Amino acid sequence: MAARGVVWLKRDLRCRDHAALAAAAVADEALALFVIEPAWLASPECHPRHVAWTLAALAELRATLAARGLPLVVRVGDVPQVFDDLRRSFAFTHLFSHEETGPGWTWGRDRAVAAWCRERGVVWQELAQTGVVRRLRSRDGWAQRWQRRMDAPEVSVPARWRGAPLQADGLPTLRDLGLPQVDPPTAAGERAAWTTLDGFLAGRGRGYRRNLSSPLAAADGCSRLSEHLAFGTISMRSVHQAHDLRGFAGRLRWHCHFVQKLEDEPAIEHRNFARVCDGLRPGDGVAWNAEAQRRFDAWRDGRTGYPMVDACMRSLTATGWLNFRMRAMLVSFASYHLWLHWRPTGLHLARQFLDFEPGIHWSQMQMQSGTTGINTLRIYSPTKQALDHDPDGTFIRRWVPELDGVPAALVAEPWRMPAAMQGRAGCTIGRDYPAPIVVDRTAVKQAKDKLYALRASREARTEADAIQDRHGSRKSGLPPTTRPRTQARRATATPVQRALFEEVGS
């Protein structure tokens, strides 16, 4: 019997180093399929910008694959239903895909697909595409395994497939999908991924470690590969093998390190790593009351009265991207200052981040909210972040034009302007720009008191040991350029290096 193969594309929208496309070379006839799932469109993490970006990447990939004889079929519907429809015109016997570590609805869908394949005798081959290990027994040796996968040669994809004689469908528009018209915030697709990487390696990355922390410098000085890695328009292995930048390999490993947590414990998108934290904040077993909603709205709309928080949120809403430090500050402010549960704030950010990657996102949301049980509490002062990383207020003024006339010395804390100065600056606090929504010092003290008291309990310490054992990073034993920093190196670090250490956790 002839083998008919379907390559089911998900978050792997590329041709190069693609194990599932390579595997389909054995088929007598093959096609590639992308399914636009109603469950995705309806999920609270999905923003029309994610869909716009995906459609643009698919348009390019369809042409790339067609030139190699492989039709790309794009359908809208639930996956088992789409498979049934497709089988009427193309009775496929083999399904090839990459493993996916996604939100809960994707696990449910994959279980339905497994059952569908079993019932119809279709062989489903799922292949790894990053350093994330399925059914991992222990974190011991994980970093070495990651390194081996990244050092392995790229998978070679055939120059030509024996394509199924099928007419490729047209791509739906956003309007067809019932979504508002938006443009992808950045150039989408495999070519753009390589252009972005090349630009980073050829010059933009020169000041990488220096530029990471400032929201202004990072926009150009970071690699800006995150959406490409999240949608798979470039493989992590290709990026790993192309660069020789210090400090960068570690970040690629963190990517997989955090995704591994969701792979090992899918529940962490909904519930605290440390269950002793359950019921701590409104939205987490404690009623989400009118005050919580008022705080959430102000944070979401960039109207908290803290200029650095508001500038970051408005910038993110407009561009779909923010550097690590400012993402962490936004979450820290919501979770500690405003005392909101990380799930509703995390859903808002997931929609805004073009690079939404569930495993990184939910792990980081919890890390920056103090609910992992194993990470040091890090509470960012928005004023200090502004003074350190936007000393003349350029970034703040760009996104919070109400503060345009405020002198540089007070642009991070405009509430300190005397009334006459407010008049001269054309910015009356409480009228033109909000007064601070909470008092920084008081709010932080209350948050610290609650969390430190919780962490001191015997129950919390026992639980933390178990979490560390299951999810914590180990000493990797990797060579120095890629080895995570040790406590000793931390102690002798320069301020810039310390800023880097602050960004990771275990």
Ligand X SMILES: Cc1cc2nc3c(=O)[nH]c(=O)nc-3n(C[C@H](O)[C@H](O)[C@H](O)COP(=O)(O)OP(=O)(O)OC[C@H]3O[C@@H](n4cnc5c(N)ncnc54)[C@H](O)[C@@H]3O)c2cc1C
| Binding positions for ligand X, rule: CB under 6 A | 222-226, 229-230, 251-252, 254-255, 258, 323-324, 327-328, 331, 353, 355-357, 360-361, 364-365, 368, 503-504
- Contact present, 284 and 334 (Cβ < 8 Å): no
Q: Which pair of tokens denotes residue 190?
A: 């495999």
Q: Are 370 and 354 in contact (CB under 8 A)?
A: no
Query: For residue 415, with 0-12 CB atoms within 10 Å meaning exposed, 13-18 middle and 19 or more buried, which class applies?
Result: middle
Nearer to ligand X, 82 or 374 (CB): 374
> Closest distance between ligand X and the C-beta of residue 146, in Å?
13
CB of 336 to ligand X, least distance (A): 13
Instruction: Say how far apart CA 459 and CA 366 lie, in whole Å.
Output: 19
For the bound state, the minimum distance from the C-beta of residue 355 to ligand X, rounded and expressed in Å, comes to 4
C-alpha–C-alpha distance, residues 286 and 292, integer Å: 11
**Tokens, residue 458:** 């015997």
Are 150 and 143 spatial neighbours (Cβ–Cβ below 8 Å)? no
Tally of CB atoms within 10 A around 40:
18
Strand order in the sheet with 29-36: 72-76, 29-36, 4-9, 94-98, 123-127
Closer CB to ligand X, 254 or 339, in the complex: 254
- Least distance from ligand X to the Cβ atom of residue 325, Å: 8
Least distance (Å) between residue 223 CB and ligand X: 3
Q: Which is nearer to ligand X, 390 or 413 (CB)?
A: 390
- Residue 83 or 353: which CB sits closer to ligand X? 353
Q: How far is the CB of 270 from ligand X (least distance, A)?
A: 16
Comparison of 30 and 229: residue with beta carbon closer to ligand X = 229
Residue environment code for 443-478, b if the CB has 16+ CB neighbours within 10 A, otherwise e: bbeebeebbeebbeeeebeebbeebbeebbbbebeb
Instruction: Choose between 306 and 324: whose C-beta lies nearer to ligand X.
Output: 324
- Smallest separation, CB 462 to ligand X (Å): 27
Per DSSP, the residues of 151-180 read HSPPPPPPS---B-S-PPPPPPPTTTTT--
- Quick one: 364 or 482, whose CB is closer to ligand X? 364
- Continuous H helices in 43-172: 48-67, 79-89, 104-120, 142-151
Residue 129 or residue 422: which is nearer to ligand X going by CB?
Answer: 129
Tokens 């001269």 found at: 424
Q: Are 104 and 196 in contact (CB under 8 A)?
A: no
| Residue (of 292, 385, 303) closest to 343 by Cα position | 292
Nearest Cα to 315, choosing from 396, 384, 379? 396
User: At closest approach, how far in Å is the CB of 342 from ligand X?
Assistant: 9
CA R_g for the chain: 24
Q: Using CA atoms, how far apart are residues 160 and 164, in angstroms rounded to an integer?
A: 12
Find the shortest distance in angstroms from Cβ 329 to ligand X.
Answer: 9
The CB-of-210 to ligand X minimum distance in angstroms stands at 12
- Looking at the Cβ atoms of 93 and 186, the one nearer to ligand X is 186
